[in-house]
Structure 1
């Protein structure tokens, strides 16, 4: 077995360290692209939502005294909100609307259609028309599991009904099974619940109250399947996402132009269940967007600084790696030059080593992003450092990686030519 020489090991180490630095640069640069995208989206949404004053959201969600419990997954905040807070917000006219964006439509193997879940307050504010053109009316005493489906899907009625029924209270992987496993009370009515389909008029764009969903179309979804949830046809677990602390949290609290007054009215309830330190502000969507805009802008500034530092480090390490490889192969190069090789061809090993190191760039970027995400935790590190987000931004990932490759190729060519011209006599003596 051949043992690599010290020069060979130094070259491998130099290229490896250079690739790690370049990976960090790529991860930060793609994160910066995501941050600028968020800043742009927030700026656009701020304009669109500036006049929305009837409803407010609890934003942001704080860790309060529950940081360790949140990390352990034992805080129970979502369960408390679902069981104790949602009923009060519903009684006050709060709108619950949870919608899936268009890009996740194809994820469901049986129902590959846009979907929404709403409460009855939503239907009163934003009517959904049935197939005859009349607004759908669902009572809060309704115990059937009601889904409003565009009549264009009538040919799939049995399939839709059976699938939803199985998902709701079937023997495995159902809402009932989940609720029992998490110690929610499940009524007999829900255990025996039947699915009722209401056919809707096609061509309806329904408002999602979500700033991220089709902002260019007024945050609406075309012809979604709508699940209508009432206090009588649901389990408390159905309301777990009521307050997430995000701008697009499903629950929009009715405030009628005075969020501070409503916050103070609800404060005793939140204090009773020790949630006042987690949900400290009730603000208009525009105010939440404005705060998010400030946070995204701050993230972008931080990422610009990090990108500059990572870029400078990558350039320096690229030069060092090429110099180390040059020293490793300079005698071989001199011999090749005597045999008529061009300056660049005589250093084929240097460029081959550099090209091999490029295969490590994207894996190194994913490792860097994962390290940032895991070490910081998703409470402290913005979501655009998640490795899956990095892959989702693959056009930016490939563009940044290509730019790094181009810059490193230029650096390598320049270093080889400069050193080769400065030390020709020395190389001839070493032959």
Structure 2
């Protein structure tokens, strides 16, 4: 028993060390996350076509920053190919800054004003052979990669619109800078923007902890409670020793120190020495971390020492005449443990029920954003530039449209998703409330592969790119309207799509496209189609229920069907598949094709699809992980309490149980008193749970049934194992 107590004390010290390590790492990454807001004030560049050109905007930002002696920062979050969070910081320096005060470099140097204005140098926690990396950020337990780059590099990955931070020093104020910046924009574009258009109206959330320490704290508290009970059991087992010491005139306090105090002091010294050695030799260790480690260990053992005072009261109760006969008083311990088990079981059920409710809510929220997860793998061209096509644009951009259409087969082969849901945008529906036609959406086969649509026989639908017929996926509940649907899409194709290609774009349209054969595939009703458009049914998580779907192939479509690069950011129908989730690498692959079709002056920037969705998913992952960790802690606590109660009960009547079993009496008959007490305690727990929760719910009932079965099975197994291990000992007269 002494060895087990020492083991749990060392485990508790280990958890204290891990908590200190995690808290220190979290503090570092939190400081880095909040660098922008700690030194600067937020402002926003609105999503406006006039402000979408990165080159023009970086010039305006730099001009205003230099004039008003301002530093500009922009934070961003991304996911790597292995789903790890990447934290990116983009900076523009025009003067001295406090930005780097909270950052330490393991090697290299910080970015200078010149570096952020005209170079591509950067800092990162990850050491690479890239000549542009001029410094490595010191990291302590951080698993996320952190990079700090010049502000102009942000436009390789992000659109211009978004949140920025301004650090002001000297005689100018934040209001002076913002006013001057807006004035320069209005002069440049002959616009009428106001300061209010650039003020940050929504709350900016910069809080972030890479890994929560709450679960580690809970585990440590659990270990401390178990250690306390082990100390009590240890003292109970040492009853004979206590009686002998009392017989020799030892005081109760001296006996406590002899049996418990020395054990705690020796284990504390060993744990402290081990923790200090680990802290010193840990890569990236700091003096503050070492001191925090020492303080955490001292506090941990002060708590254990305070709890161990309870064993002193047991020592006082030990009677010499009973102790020297090796008779142990387990009644009070058993009653106390039973009460504690009832309290803990009720708490576990109540907390478990609440956790299930919360988990259901989180999973519901996650399922709402689940479809947006795929946005990590896609980007959009934003903005769409006029380039050298001003005359063509003045005529409605027929040549530009034809050029963009030439690149569609390349993007399609790369896995681009086409999903045009503009007819379901809330603004479109509001402006066309009197529309009498049939609304539909347009998708390509890549979309069907990523988001399967099922036919009436529940089989996923796939359409070959060589298909020449006009394919309509129609919910089977509309079968009675078959003729009406066919008539509408024939007329719509002839009146709008064909006319657009022939008359406006001047393209030859073959007869099979002018008068297409329409093939309807009936789909299962009730399917929710992800629109991939943040402007579609926001309250329904951008889902459309049972729309009619036109499937675009390279052979059955007109240019109007594939004209989906609009420069409208996340609303664009065409989502470009990114190479390793890197928009810059993907853009480098596309540059030769863009030059070939004279689009390099129109499609300059490929940006990540939905930064907001990525942040939401990151927060939900963290929330679910915390809930699962809590559930694991509760399950471990319950099992330990059950085993402890079984051990106490067996020790209380061990001679009776062993004799019964030796004479062949069955398990349940032998332990019928235990089983009776078990169900009485459970009746008390059941009533207590209903009173606390003010009724019974499905989740509460699930927790009660699960806990009842778990405790019953665990108790039976524990009693069988305890009986087998103690049978010989009891037969020889031991206790």
> 2:437 corresponds to which residue?
110
In the alignment, structure 1 residue 180 sits paired with structure 2 residue 502 = yes
Partner of 1:249: 572
Contact 1:95 1:118 in 2 (8 A): yes
- The 3-state SS of whatever aligns with 2:600 is coil
- Structure number with higher relative contact order (C-alpha < 8 Å, ≥ 6 residues apart): 1
Per-residue CA deviations over 1:144-176 (Å, capped at 9, x if unaligned) read 10111111111111111111112223xxx2422
**Aligned twin of 2:594:** 270
The offset of 1:240, in angstroms, is 1.9
SS in structure 2 opposite 1:185? Answer: coil
Q: Structure 2: 5+ residue runs without aligned partners?
A: 1-192, 206-367, 615-735
Aligned length: 250
Q: Which residue of 2 aligns with 1:98?
A: 420
8 Å contact kept, 1:64–1:278: yes
Alignment of 1:310-325 (within 5 A): none
Structure 1 length normalisation: TM-score?
0.52
1:214 and 2:537 matched: yes
Residue equivalent to 1:231: 554
- How many Å apart are 1:79 and its aligned residue? 2.0
SS in 1 for 2:461: coil
CA RMSD, aligned part only?
Answer: 3.3
Superposition map of 1:254-333 within 5 A: 254-255=577-578, 256-286=580-610
Q: Distance in 1 between matches of 2:203 and 2:425?
A: 17
Structure 1 Cα separation of the partners of residues 574 and 607 of structure 2: 12
Deviation string 1:329-370 (CA, Å, 9 cap, x unpaired) is: xxxxxxxxxxxxxxxxxxxxxxxxxxxxxxxxxxxxxxxxxx
Change (3 A) 1:63 1:282: same
Q: Deviations over 1:34-66 (max 9, x none)?
A: 979x976999xxx96587311111112223233
Alpha-carbon distance between aligned partners in 2 of 1:143 and 1:51, rounded to the nearest angstrom: 29
Query: In structure 2, what is the equivalent of residue 88 of structure 1?
Result: 410
Are 2:472 and 1:147 equivalent residues in the alignment? Answer: yes
Question: By how many angstroms is 1:192 displaced?
Answer: 3.9
How far off its partner does 1:238 sit? Answer: 2.1
Partner in structure 2 of residue 165 of structure 1: 490
**Cα deviation digits, residues 80-136 of structure 1 (max 9, x gap):** 111x1111101111001100226445554132x4x2100111101101111121111
Alpha-carbon distance in structure 1 between the residues aligned to 2:612 and 2:595: 22
Q: Identify the residue that residue 7 of structure 2 maps to in structure 1.
A: none
Structure 1 window deviating more from structure 2 (57-66 vs 200-209): it is: 57-66
CA contact (8 A) 1:148 1:199 kept: yes
Q: Deviations over 1:1-37 (max 9, x none)?
A: xxxxxxxxxxxxxxxxxxxxxxxxxxxxxx99x979x
Write the distance in 2 (CA, Å) between the matches of 1:246 and 1:209. 11
Q: Aligned partners of 1:39, 1:164: CA distance in 2, in Å?
A: 44
Q: Is the 8 A contact 2:392 2:400 kept in 1?
A: no
Query: Looking at CA atoms only, which structure, 1 or 2, has the larger radius of gyration?
Result: 2
Given that 2:570 and 2:610 are in contact with CA atoms closer than 8 Å, whether structure 1 keeps it comes out as no
Question: Using a 3 Å threshold, how does the CA distance of structure 1 residues 265 and 102 change in structure 2: closer, same or farther?
Answer: closer
Change (3 A) 1:277 1:245: farther
